[in-house]
Amino acid sequence: MASLQTWTKNFLGWVFFCCCCFLPLLLTSPLPPKAAGVASTTHHTCRLRKLNFQPYIRNRTYTLAKMARVSDEDTDNRLIGQQLYVNVKENNRCYMMKRIVEIVVKDVLLTEVKDQYPYASEVVQFFASLTSELSKCKFSGHREHIEKNLEEMKTKIKELGDNGKTKAIGELDLLFDYIENACTDIPKKAGNKKKN
Ligand SMILES: *[C@@H]1O[C@H](CO)[C@@H](O)[C@H](O)[C@H]1NC(C)=O
């Protein structure tokens, strides 16, 4: 019995020894290419094709926004703007816009408000399809500033009540442009660079 125990001990010792010596060797060589692959797909998942932004749906979205703006007299508040990007790294902007679109779809477009506007269901479908294409898009680094800016926007919509929803619909044209800019590779306009 004792010899079996010793044998087991020795065997486990060997297993442990082998793991310590050979596992690092095994891990170090294939890791770099693998990590690079992961990094590039992570980047790829936060990209939309330019093809998503067809003139037809742009027109529908802009028209819907224009209609809503008729009944929005409050010009002091702005929901979609550069303040959303404060302290947010450039490579997280697409993720940020994805989250904004999710909020606008869920808290605004899918509420009773949509029945008041023509094209609303088409536009909802369009934005929902963008977020589903971006379903694997994740942030990198710290998320606290992202969450803080999102929370501020949500709070603002809530505080403005029904007018907050109207305002959000009135800014769908901005949202359209922002997510297009953040998630597709379009040539940057000169002097349009924002630092943060
Ligand atoms: C949308 O298209 C219609 C018809 O082609 C045009 O009259 C209208 O001005 C367009 N609206 C916007 C906001 O681009």
**pLDDT at residue 7 greater than cutoff 70:** no
Atom number in ligand 1 closest to CA 60 = 1
The 3 state secondary structure assigned to the chain is: CHHHHHHHHHHHHHHHHHHHHHHHHHHHCCHHHHHHHHHHHHHHHCCCCHHHCCHHHHHHHHHHHHHHHHCCCCCCCCCCCHHHHCCCCHHHHHHHHHHHHHHHHHHHHCCHHHHHCCCHHHHHHHHHHHHHHCCCCCCCCCCHHHHHHHHHHHHHHHHCCHHHHHHHHHCHHHHHHHHHHHHCCCCCCCCCCCCC
Question: In whole angstroms, what is the distance from residue 164 CA to residue 35 CA?
Answer: 44
Indicate which residue's Cα is closest to atom 7 of ligand 1.
59
Whole-number pLDDT of residue 4:
55
Whole-number pLDDT of residue 75:
83
Would the CB of 59 count as within 6 Å of ligand 1? yes
pLDDT digits over 122-169, tens only? 999 999 999 999 999 999 998 999 999 999 999 999 999 889 999 999
Indicate which residue's Cα is closest to atom 5 of ligand 1.
59
**pLDDT at residue 193 greater than cutoff 80:** no
pLDDT digits over 44-98, tens only? 789 999 999 999 999 999 999 999 999 888 888 899 999 999 999 999 999 999 9
Higher pLDDT, 14 or 192: 14
- Give the Å distance between the CA of 59 and the centre of ligand 1: 6
Atom number in ligand 1 closest to CA 173 = 13
Q: Architecture of domain 40-183 in CATH?
A: Up-down Bundle (1.20)
Would the CB of 62 count as within 6 Å of ligand 1? yes
Whole-number pLDDT of residue 3:
58
